[in-house]
Amino acid sequence: MHGPGSPGWLLVALCAATGAYCLLRMRSGVEEQRRTAGGEALMGFGMAAMAVPAAVLAPPRWAWAAYAAVFGAAAVRALWAARGSAGHLHHLMGACAMVYMAAVMAGGAHSEVPVLTGVLLLYFTAYVLWTGTRLVPVAAAGPAGGIRAPGWGDRLELAHACRLSMGIAMLAMLLTV
């Protein structure tokens, strides 16, 4: 991305850690959660790769086309999955944002479509605020006797924190486009 070095490396670390956690979430016993976690892991690692400061690694033009192709395929998959669950529409927006950023980076210039950048910034800002409110603690009872506590892949609050961090990272990346 076009941003400075230190924040770029922090963004790489955040996105890679989020992607790694999403890989752990793929161990869930619930198939839908595994699929969602896999898509989010792809997004996290893809964002980490795109956030590497250009002074360290300036990918060739074809790499941006490869990013666009991978996330274009992810967008089609998310669109297909959205038929059954509206929750996948966010994955569609994320994949489309990645395709958009890859296309802008392939051009080697700043965004030529500031309206689209603005719409994506508004969407991800609203998403981050909404997801943040879902992390506000509520009074909850612990697991009842004999019921096993959820594993790492099934902890909803960690999934929300993962999505929140990727939303914030997406905002940071869109601001540098």
In the numeric block, the tokens 């850690």 are attached to 17
Give the rounded distance of the alpha carbon of 24 from its chain centre.
15
154-166, pLDDT tens digit by residue? 677 788 888 999 9
pLDDT by residue (tens digit) across 92-102? 999 999 999 99
Q: What is the pLDDT confidence band of residue 79, given thresholds at 50, 70 and 90?
A: very high
What are phi and psi for residue 55, nearest 5 degrees? -65, -25
In angstroms, what is the C-alpha Rg of the chain?
A: 17
